Structure formats: C-alpha cells, structure tokens
Structure 1
C-alpha cells in the first residue's frame, strides 16, 4: 500500500504548527517574567523556602519549553522539506519527511502536556504557601 501525498497535505499543518509555536513562546515569556519577579522580590542573600521549592520546578519547565519549541520548529522544517520533496515529485522522501514531521509534532505536544502538569504543581506550591500564612481576623484591627 502506497500513500499518495500532495502539496496540500503537509500545508494543512502550517497554521497549526504556527499557532503552537506562538503558544510555546507565550509560555516561555510568562515563565521568564515569573523568574524575574521571583528574583526581584527576594532580598539580599536570603531565599524563602517557597522560592527554593519553585526553582527546581522552574528549571524543569524551562527545559521542557526549550524542547517543545525545538521539536515544534523541527516539525515545521520537516513539513516544509516534505512539501519541497513532493514539489520535486520525490513522493517517498516527501512521505518520510512528513511522517517525521508528525512524529516531532506529537513529541512536542506530549512535552507540552507534561509541562502543563508541572505548571499545576507550581501553583500547588503557591497555594500551600498561602495556606501556611497566619490568618488575621479583620474584626480585631
């Protein structure tokens, strides 16, 4: 069984990959802003326990986003190469490149799911920090 690939098949992924890369870039920018805010609110040489707990999480998320972006861009490049191969009537090469493009996109999406999971863990750390703060009764003031 041979799969017949034409130029429009890989072209269908272009808008999806572009939007995905935009979403990844936004996640990176938000993460970078969060790191800068954490750095600015810590004074001198002392770092609060909550911030220490976040550092490992932030590093892990940063590495995941870097890999998500890498495989997203690689998927985009392979998709473009697949279109070029189909344009040159090299259907076997085009189909192979398109398959690799889909595999890279799938891996990028799996990494994205894992990064979302880790992001939720970071929010749990923040919630635990808020819960541990003393409660001030507003009627006593």
Structure 2
C-alpha cells in the first residue's frame, strides 16, 4: 500500500471534530454532576445517587475517549514526520497505530452513548411512575 504525506492529514478534520465533541460532552457532564451533587446533598435521594454513579462511569469513558483520540492525533503527526523524513515503513506502522487508537476511541464513544441512553431511560421511568400515580 502506498502512503503519502497527505494520507494521515486526511484524519485531522475528523479527529479535531471528534475531540471537540468529546470536550463538549465532558463539559455538559461536569455541569450535570455539579447540579446533581447539590441536589443529592439536599435530598439524599437514592435515584439521584444512582445517576451520579452513572455519570462517574461516563466521565471515565469520556476521559479515555479523549486520551485515545489524542493518541490518534499524535500518531498522525508522528506519521507525517516519519513520511517527510523518508521512513515509509515506519510511517505505515505509525499510521496503523493511529487508526487503531481512533477505533478504540470510537468504540468507547459507543459505550458512553449506551450508558447515556440508560440514564435517560431512568429519568423517563421516574416521569412515567409519577404520571401513573
């Protein structure tokens, strides 16, 4: 397979947008955690505590999503550097590493979305229980 300097550069826009989306998810989660913490401190409601536990797991996933996404970006830059220096074989391996890091990051994003949906289902169940009473 022939790889040129522009091949890893093709991932930059995707990785940049992906990392921005991860950061936005992180910021939204941080805000939600702060508000739920205050709510739990006031009420000691176990449902709120369950949501906080759920958010902790999501926070860890988002941290790892960002780490693997950043490793992918780092790999792309290193790959470009190696290709520029004429190290084609090393560049190919580093590019493969970069793609693998991106794949792991995306897999973690899928898991985080699944957990997020589960949390929303809990909210909807609470709403339905209140409406049924």
TM-score of the superposed pair, with normalisation by structure 1: 0.89
Task: Count matched residues.
Answer: 133
- Give the SS at the match of 2:130: coil
Are the equivalent residues in 2 in contact too, given 1:50–1:129 (CA < 8 A)? Answer: no
- Give the SS at the match of 2:35: helix
Matched with 1:8 is 6
From the CA coordinates, give the structure whose radius of gyration is larger: 1
- Give the SS at the match of 1:42: helix
> What does the per-residue CA deviation read over 1:36-65, in whole Å, with 9 as the maximum and x for residues that have no partner?
111222344x41121122122111100100
TM-score of the superposed pair, with normalisation by structure 2: 0.94
The structure with the greater share of residues assigned to helix is 2
Over the residues paired in the alignment, what is the CA RMSD in angstroms?
Answer: 1.4
TM superposition outliers: structure 1 runs of 4+ over 6 Å: none
- Give 1:135 shift: 6.0
Matched with 2:68 is 71
Gap regions ≥5 residues in structure 1: 137-141
In 2, the alpha carbon distance for the partners of 1:67 and 1:94 equals 25
Gap regions ≥5 residues in structure 2: none
